[in-house]
Amino acid sequence: MRSIAILLLTAAAAFAQQLPIRGIHLAAPMPDEIPLAERFIKEALPKEGVNVLVLEINYRYQFAKHPEVVDANALSPDDLKRLVAASRAAGVKLVPMINLLGHQSWARTTFGLLRGHPEFDETPGKYPGNQGTYCRSYCPLHPELHGVIFDLMDELLAATEADAFHVGMDEVFLLGDDACERCKGRDKAALFAGEVRALRDHLAQSNRTMWIWGDRFLDGELTGMGEWEAAKNGTAAAIHAVPKDIVICDWHYEQAHPSATYFAMEGFRVLSSPWRRSSVALRQLDLIRMARMNSSRVVSDRLQGMLHTTWCGFGAFAKAYFGEDTRNVSAVEAVATFRDLYRELRKGF
């Protein structure tokens, strides 16, 4: 009996080590960085053991159907094809991303969707010059919104031949605002859940899987995580009103909160997402492996792995990785964490 128990423990430990998803999230490169990006994808990602690349494109693509939303430094269809080909050659699954709902502006810059369609703004007439707010949101109830968004998603999916799409939706602070005639007074969790369902249902029509950041599903007051890595504006209850087949990317950068296990227990597939602190990344990995070892198989299977984030630009990250330019401190920190995390991940291969 003791030998059987030892074998079972050994098998459980091996299962816990072997994470099916080992990903990295990067902003789409600038057009002049395509050769560098191809090199990084083909050389660095297989070497480190990465098998998923989430490429945050947003509105930096030359959309044919909606050219009015195209932002500066947009990739051409040929540029994107080169990144797709490089990923395929490296054995890496590419997941395109547009950060939806929130993050429709930054500082004084309003991004393509609201610049091309100001009628979609959740807070029309407020925050002139984007002053006084973190970033703008679109109104999820505007009757013409999803026709445009679905076109953009479909165009990127066709260009990348992807079977999954990351919709972002992190740090949504402007929702159910009094300035919006459609959303005013509505329950924020219901609004958030409704947008999640709308995006998920569209992707499901073509058998694609939706990926999403997880912070708006966590209660910032109850957990003590605050308003950034969790929500204090009432969206957390949306977790009980969305389909379970979405993949949640659970980002935490300063502390390794055990929320990945919470998401798995709620029925979702989940990835832990660190950034630039190796100690946090390695603790997150430990938590994933520990939970996989000590949970029922149905729960442990949902703890899918890691998605490292970078937040410094593709070019800066790749140059820091190759040691060609180490002046960007954020890139250097993110690269160091990436190396430390993947060194530990490779022990489970």
pLDDT-derived band at 12 (thresholds 50, 70, 90) equals very low
Report whether pLDDT(282) > 90.
yes
Average pLDDT of the segment spanning 123-151: 97
**pLDDT tops 60 at residue 14:** no
- Grade residue 348 by pLDDT with cuts at 50, 70 and 90: confident
Whose CA is closest to 217, among 245, 237, 244, 247?
237
- Cα separations (Å) of 1 from 5, 8, 296? 6, 11, 21
| DSSP codes of every residue in 333-346 | HHHHHHHHHHHHHG
**What total number of domains does the chain contain?**
1
Q: Provide the domain limits for residue 159.
A: 2-348
Q: 219 pLDDT exceeds 80? A: yes
* Percent residues over pLDDT 90 in the chain: 94
Could you read off the pLDDT of 53-97 as tens digits, one per residue? 999 999 999 999 999 999 999 999 999 999 999 999 999 999 999
Return the amino acid letter for 133.
Answer: T
List, for residues 146-178, the tens digit of each pLDDT value. Answer: 999 999 999 999 999 999 999 999 999 999 999
For residue 48, give the CATH number of its domain.
3.20.20.80
